Each structure stands twice: as C-alpha cells, then as structure tokens.
C-alpha cells in the first residue's frame, strides 16, 4: 500500500478549510459513522483528499482499527471514502491526503494507518478476532462440490465423480470430491498420482456445456533428469482428450521453459513427445516482480487515461492479454490441461480467469465466492505460508542455511520468490539466455551445463534490502484481473 500522506501547501489548506460557519458540520460529520462490532475510533483529523478527478477536496478523515473513512466538508461536494485498512483498491488507486505541517500530525496518521493495516507486524490481532459479530453455527455453506458439478452438467457419460480422496489419502492438498474421466479406474488414478508432484493428478475444474471441452488442472510430472516415463499418465491424458473427441489436447505449462527444464534437477519436469495427441505450450508467466511490472503498466493505461494514439501499443507492452489463452482454446472446443510446478499458484490463477470469462455464473457475487473456494481454497493454495510464521518455515531448511553461512532476512516476511532456489533459477535463466538455445534438446543440454557451473556462493536472496508485506501475491493478481474483466 503506497503512502497515503503527501506534502501539501499549508496556505492552500488554510484557504480551503475555514473555521467559521461550518464548525457544527465538522463536529457532526463523522459522528454518524456506523462502526462494526469491535471496531474502535482511533483518530480523526481535518484533511484534504487529493482527488485525481476533481482536485483537492476538504473534509475529515477517521482512522479506526479496521478502516479509513473520509467525508467531504463541503455540502456541494458529496464524496465519501470507506476503505478497510490493508485492502488493495479494486481500481489500483493510491489514496493521497494532505495535512497541515504542524507538529508530527502527518507522521502520526501514517504510522497509525501502517500499524492497523499490518496488525500482525505490530503485535496486534487481526480484526477478524476482535469483532464480536455473531454468526450462525452452521458455518460456511456457499460452496457444495456436488451441487457445483451438477450445475455444470456432471456426471455424464464422459465424466464421473469419485470419492477416492475422501480421507485425503490420494492427495492431501486436493478436495475430497473429484471429477475424472468416466473410463478411468481408481487404480489408474493411484498410479497417475505416483507420477505427479505431490500426488496432484489431472482433474476436471470446468466443462463447457455446449462443446464439452474441459479445463483440467494438475501438477508437473515427475520426469527428473533421467527422463522417466509413466504410461499410465500418458494414457490418462489421452482419455481426457477423448472425452470431447478433440484431435489434440493442449498442455499449458504456466512456467517459462527454462524454469520447467531446471525443475528436472529436483525431480520435476514437463510432458515430452511421448504424450501422443498432445501439444505442450509454455506460457512463460514470470515471477511476482515481472508480473507486478506488467500490472503497473496496465495501471498506467487505465488510471489516468493515456492518449488514444498510444493506447493499443501501451496495452501490448503490458503482456497482460497473453495470459487468457486458456479461455480461447476452450471456447474453440479444445480441452486443456493447466499446471505449473505444484499446481496451486499460477495454475489457480489461469483456470479461474478462464472460467470467469467462459461462465457467467462466476461473475455473480455468489459465483465468485464458489470459484474462490473451489479453485483456490479446496485445491490447496498456500494462503497461510505467505506470512513467514515459524510453523510454516522448515526447520531443516533454516539449519542448512545456517551451516552454509547464508544470511537470510528476518521478519517482516519476504516475497515468496525471494528464496535460495528461486534465486538459482534466476541465475540459470540468465546464463542459458546468453547461449541462445535453438530447440528444446539444446535447451536441456545447456541447462545441465550451466547448472554445473553455478558456484555455491550464488545461493541466497538476490536483494538483501528487499522487504515485502505481500500476502499471496498470485491471489492478489487474480482479484485484480477479476475487477478488470468486470469493468471492461
């Protein structure tokens, strides 16, 4: 969250805010703000909101332990801002305020906002544990897997529902109810699980009612450096292709190709030529820092507006539209399989965005709730592991880093891709790019050669001064995409 306080000319502030005829209005302005159970007023101040559309707007800002609330003083200017602290604006807007330069009022406001926007970093509980609001005892019942499958027209003569994972024995990060090809048997699923990272087998996420094309998600195959094959896995993907009689099954690997090849060193990899009637496409989705730059360019286009003559070229430079290929394939009648490494980060973003574009139900309030629980929560997106909590940090990893004398940054938590292995991939990618491989075979050979050349001193964080407060950045990108699509 960008700094919400900016320097503003105090003389202009005095001009805008008079202390004469509207004192009673100022007194009553924030008195009628309805607080949530457990919400407390922390401070309120007269201020100016720097509106990007109408300029300076005088008013009062209220900071609570939950939100920032601003209301204009001028009865002719009706403007209210009500923003939960720590939230990311749906239109990528940075809220800017100006206060008189008296004492430390600006710093006080900023520090209070920062404190309550990131409560865990300041020894405070999350607001969810402070509010005394009462809920029914039945809990959350928005998403019911069987009902959602029935809404999509499942089961049918091509796809069936299985409870093979009812005790989380097949895959401990998958839901208990899965949709798989009708021709597949339970023993087939177990053999396929043994060849997929963390047992995350290809399962149906969504089916097109008209052309019966499907979106299937999974994790990477465990090919390894020796190039292992698994005929059960190969047959299983072909059964998925046959389910809607498409000539080729498109396999979308969200990673850059060099990352996919590098994952062979840790036992992972990607589908090779042995997968008949399948086409592998690398989507080259980069890490959070590259994606953040892409988002920044998108923001520059829509807020504020750029000149029409540069709009298309600016849009192309964001590369944002390159990540909707999944929806394009499915709408044309071709089934797709989507994965990254473990299939719980970029995979969820790709499948969810495609489903939003293809299914109007997910563009309703209830539908988006179902989608988030179905594609993100039930399929094991690691929301909790982005907080650097000790119980989410491997003891063995910390001990190894200590013995090797690698220095790592302490709390606050780091962006999840600023870790030793990600730094190695970045180093490998630069080295491989310099040698310009011409095909996938040359790419594999060069990767192995350059991997062996990387010195141990290159392991560690690439940016020693970087400190992020990110919480699940992939999910943040997804939510932003949702808003963009609903407004354009």
CA-based nearest residue to 232, from 197, 187, 298, 291: 187
Give me the pLDDT at residue 447, please.
82
Q: In the prediction, which pLDDT does 314 show?
A: 82
Instruction: Please give the positions annotated as active site.
Output: 340
- Domain co-membership, 230 together with 325: yes
Residues 6+ apart with CB under 8 A from 185: none
Domain that holds residue 330: 147-383
Statement to judge: residues 92 and 240 lie in one domain: no
Q: Are residues 417 and 321 in the same domain?
A: no
Beta-ladder partners of 160:
180
Task: Tell whether 135 is covered by a domain.
Answer: no
- 277 in the same domain as 180: yes
Other beta carbons within 10 Å of 32: 7
**Alpha-carbon 376 to chain mean position:** 9
Could you list the pLDDT tens digit for every one of the 488 residues in the chain? Answer: 443 444 344 444 444 444 444 444 445 556 778 898 899 999 988 899 988 777 889 999 999 999 999 999 887 888 999 988 877 666 667 788 888 777 667 888 889 988 998 888 888 888 888 887 776 666 578 899 999 999 999 999 999 999 999 989 999 999 999 999 999 999 999 999 999 999 999 999 999 999 999 999 999 999 999 999 999 999 999 999 999 888 999 999 999 899 899 999 889 999 999 999 999 999 988 766 777 787 778 777 776 555 667 778 888 888 777 767 899 999 999 999 999 999 888 899 899 989 999 999 999 989 999 999 999 999 988 776 654 445 445 555 556 556 655 555 443 333 444 444 556 666 787 888 888 888 878 888 888 888 888 776 555 444 443 333 344 556 655 665 565 555 54
Bond prior to 412 in cis (omega within 30° of 0)? yes
Looking at the fold, whether 422 and 299 belong to one and the same domain comes out as no
d(CA 199, CA 264): 17
Whether 99 and 6 have beta carbons less than 8 Å apart is answered as no
- Both 370 and 226 in a single domain? yes
Looking only at the bridges linking them, the beta strands covering 278-282 and 214-217 are: unpaired
391 touches 165 (CB < 8 A): no
287 is in an annotated binding site: yes
DSSP string, 369-428: HHHIIIIIITTT--SGGGS--GGGS-HHHHHHHHHTT-----SSPPPTT-SHHHHHHHHH
Of the three residues 70, 103, 129, the one that is the final residue of a domain is: 129
Does 188 carry a binding-site annotation? no
Within-domain flag for 142: no
Q: Which of 199, 197, 202, 196 is nearest to 180 (CA)?
A: 202
Q: Is 341 annotated as a binding residue?
A: yes
CB-CB contact of 184 with 231 (8 Å): no
Alpha carbon distances (Å) from 50 to 16, 44, 96, 241: 12, 17, 5, 55
| Percent helix, strand and coil across the chain, each to the nearest 5 | 40, 15, 45
Domain boundary (129, 158, 180) is at 129
Split into its structural domains, the chain has a count of 3
Q: What burial class does residue 353 get, using C-beta atoms within 10 Å of its C-beta: 0-12 exposed, 13-18 middle, 19+ buried? A: buried
Q: Are 98 and 113 in contact (CB under 8 A)?
A: no
Check whether 340 is labelled as a binding-site residue.
yes
Question: Same structural domain for residues 414 and 357?
Answer: no
286 and 399 fall within a common domain: no
pLDDT score recorded for residue 424: 66
Residues 388 and 371 occupy one common structural domain: no
354 and 396 co-located in one domain: no
Tell me if 345 is assigned to a ligand binding site: yes
């Amino acid at each position: 969250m960008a700094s919400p306080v900016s320097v503003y000319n105090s003389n202009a502030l005095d001009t805008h805010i008079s202390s004469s005829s509207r004192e009673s209005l100022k007194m009553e302005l924030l008195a009628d703000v309805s607080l949530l159970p457990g919400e407390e007023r922390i401070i309120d101040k007269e201020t100016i909101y720097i509106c990007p559309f109408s300029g300076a707007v005088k008013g009062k800002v209220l900071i609570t332990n939950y939100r920032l609330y601003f209301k204009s003083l001028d009865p002719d200017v009706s403007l209210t801002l009500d923003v939960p602290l720590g939230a990311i604006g749906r239109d990528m807007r940075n809220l800017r305020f100006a206060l008189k330069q008296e004492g430390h009022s600006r710093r006080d406001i900023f520090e209070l906002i920062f404190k309550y926007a990131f409560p865990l970093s300041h020894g405070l509980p999350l607001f969810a544990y402070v509010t005394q609001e009462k809920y029914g005892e039945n809990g959350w019942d928005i998403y019911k897997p069987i009902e959602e499958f029935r809404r999509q027209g499942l089961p049918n003569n091509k796809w069936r529902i299985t409870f093979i994972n009812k005790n989380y024995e097949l895959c401990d990060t998958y839901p208990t109810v899965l949709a798989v090809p009708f021709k597949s048997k339970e023993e087939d699923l177990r053999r396929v699980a043994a060849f997929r990272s963390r047992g995350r087998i290809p399962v149906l996420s969504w089916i097109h009612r008209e052309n019966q094309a499907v979106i299937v998600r999974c994790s990477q195959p465990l090919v390894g450096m020796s190039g292992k094959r698994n005929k059960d896995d190969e047959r299983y993907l072909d059964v998925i292709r046959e389910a809607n009689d498409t000539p080729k099954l498109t396999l979308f690997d969200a990673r850059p190709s060099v990352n996919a090849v590098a994952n062979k060193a840790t036992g992972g990899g990607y589908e090779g030529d042995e997968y008949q009637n399948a086409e592998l496409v690398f989507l080259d989705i980069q890490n959070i820092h590259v994606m953040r730059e892409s988002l920044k360019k998108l923001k520059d286009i829509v807020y504020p507006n750029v000149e029409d003559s540069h709009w298309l070229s600016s849009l192309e430079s964001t590369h944002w539209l390159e990540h909707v290929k999944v929806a394009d394939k499915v709408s044309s009648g071709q089934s797709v399989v989507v994965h990254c490494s473990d299939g719980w980060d970029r995979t969820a973003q790709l499948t969810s965005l495609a489903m939003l574009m293809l299914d109007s139900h997910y563009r309703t309030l209830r539908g988006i709730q179902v989608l988030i629980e179905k594609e993100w929560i039930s399929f094991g997106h690691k929301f909790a592991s982005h907080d650097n909590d000790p119980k989410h940090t491997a003891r063995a990893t910390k001990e190894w880093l200590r013995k090797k004398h690698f220095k790592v940054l302490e709390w606050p938590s780091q962006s999840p891709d600023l870790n030793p292995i990600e730094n190695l991939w970045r180093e490998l990618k630069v080295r491989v790019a310099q040698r310009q491989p011409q095909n996938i075979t040359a790419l594999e050979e060069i990767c192995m050669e350059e991997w062996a050349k990387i010195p141990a001193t290159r392991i560690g964080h690439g940016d020693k001064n970087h400190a992020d407060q990110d919480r699940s950045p992939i999910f943040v990108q997804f939510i932003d995409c949702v808003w963009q699509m609903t407004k354009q």
